[in-house]
Amino acid sequence: LSERIDAEAEEPCETQDGCGIELYINAGLSAEIEINASSQGVGIGLYRTEIPFMLRERFPSEHEQVDLYRRILQSSPSQPITMRTLDVGGDKPLPYFPINEENPFLGWRGVRLTLDHPEIFLVQVRAMLRASIGLTNLQILLPMISSVNEVKEAKRLIEQAFYEINDEVKSTGEQLNKPKLGIMLEVPSVLYQLPQLAQQVDFFSVGSNDLTQYLLAVDRNNTRVASLYNCYHPAVLCALQDIVRQSDAHKIPVTVCGEIAGEPGGAILLMGMGYRRLSMNAYNLRKINWVIRNVSMAESRELLASTLTAHTHEQVYVHLNHYLERKG
């Protein structure tokens, strides 16, 4: 099977009935592998910028960040590169910025922290913008958004950084393009404000890992409750379906970048729901490309319909495994 998967890796990602699905990679961990994948023409759906921050002993300077981001943007200049602003806190500590909280996942995390420290946010956004001078592929993504106010505040800071750098750039004759702006959908409150949020940003990206954690109130890293943490819980599947329906209704592009997008059964269910953009770890890319090339939209909708009758994630697995086994 792995030979068949490799042989088809360069083939376009479309279902047997010709529906194109865009695949992207999640980056941040192993820069070299990912730059390699992206230089083969695959865009980045999620670049977790906190990872290079976590591997250092101090905040990287603006200059250091520009160098890093520029390398990544240049690796695939014709493909979108989605850089998420710093998502520290929760399970992602910075050794040089200790946070002590009883409930870190409900605390100072992601955009909450960086909006309270605009100097950190502005340095990062300026670095992203400087790195994108002369390029058109930068997209900025905001993590842990739970309200419209956070989006407005982040937009204000991004605009400020944009006009500052644009003024500098004008005199050099170079071009600074306005990046598209998106938000992570990973806190359940945003599911009830999608129309309002759609007015504020250019795209959505579903963080199914955190959406599962927050929807089910299960710490994603606590082994005691690990059996309760499951992104195939029927409530999570309903939320995912609701998001794509609402996003389509508001004509706003939506990607799934949580782990479910890189799993064969998950990818098929997401397609059936209407998702056309999936972002995953680079090592899942070939497998998911192969899976999509071997199913039809009609089949994925059928599988979804039967799965949505399930009352528990165990029943969801029964449907998925039955289908996957039948497909070999």
Check residue 174 and give left, alpha or beta (phi > 0: left; psi -120 to 50: alpha).
Answer: beta
* Interface positions, 241-270, toward Mg ion (CB under 5 A): none
- Choose the one of ligand PEP, Mg ion, none that binds residue 88, judging by a C-beta under 5 to 8 angstroms depending on kind: none
**Which class for 171: exposed (0-12), middle (13-18), buried (19 or more C-beta within 10 A)?**
exposed
- CA dist., res. 39 & res. 58, Å (int): 29
Smallest gap from Cβ 221 to Mg ion, in A, equals 12
Nearer to ligand PEP, 219 or 299 (CB): 219
Inter-residue contact 138 to 131 (CB < 8 Å):
yes
- Choose the one of ligand PEP, Mg ion, none that binds residue 258, judging by a C-beta under 5 to 8 angstroms depending on kind: ligand PEP
Is residue 207 within the footprint of Mg ion (CB under 5 A)?
Answer: yes
Instruction: Quickly count: other Cβ atoms within 10 Å of residue 154's Cβ.
Output: 24
Smallest gap from Cβ 15 to ligand PEP, in A, equals 24
Pairing of strands 81-84, 44-48: parallel
Closest residue to ligand PEP, Cβ-based?
207
**Which class for 180: exposed (0-12), middle (13-18), buried (19 or more C-beta within 10 A)?**
middle
Tokens of 174: 């170079």
Smallest gap from Cβ 240 to ligand PEP, in A, equals 11
Tokens 């289908």, residue located: 323
- CA dist., res. 84 & res. 86, Å (int): 6
Nearer to ligand PEP, 52 or 134 (CB): 52
Nearer to Mg ion, 50 or 186 (CB): 186
* Interface positions, 141-200, toward Mg ion (CB under 5 A): 186
Nearer to ligand PEP, 103 or 171 (CB): 103
Q: Which of 22, 301, 279 is nearest to 323 (CA)?
A: 301
Tokens 């946070």, residue located: 99
The radius of gyration computed from the CA coordinates of the chain, to the nearest angstrom, equals 20
Nearer to ligand PEP, 262 or 274 (CB): 262
Smallest gap from Cβ 84 to ligand PEP, in A, equals 8
**Which class for 303: exposed (0-12), middle (13-18), buried (19 or more C-beta within 10 A)?**
buried
- CA dist., res. 200 & res. 138, Å (int): 18
Total residues at interface with Mg ion (CB under 5 A): 3
Smallest gap from Cβ 235 to ligand PEP, in A, equals 16
Smallest gap from Cβ 213 to ligand PEP, in A, equals 8
Binding mask 209-238 for Mg ion (x = CB under 5 A): -x----------------------------
Nearer to ligand PEP, 15 or 208 (CB): 208
Stretch that binds Mg ion, among 171-179, 206-214, 272-280, 308-316 (CB under 5 A): 206-214
Tokens of 15: 């279902």
- Choose the one of Mg ion, ligand PEP, none that binds residue 219, judging by a C-beta under 5 to 8 angstroms depending on kind: none
Binding site for ligand PEP (CB under 6 A): 46, 48, 87, 186, 207-210, 257-258
Smallest gap from Cβ 246 to Mg ion, in A, equals 20
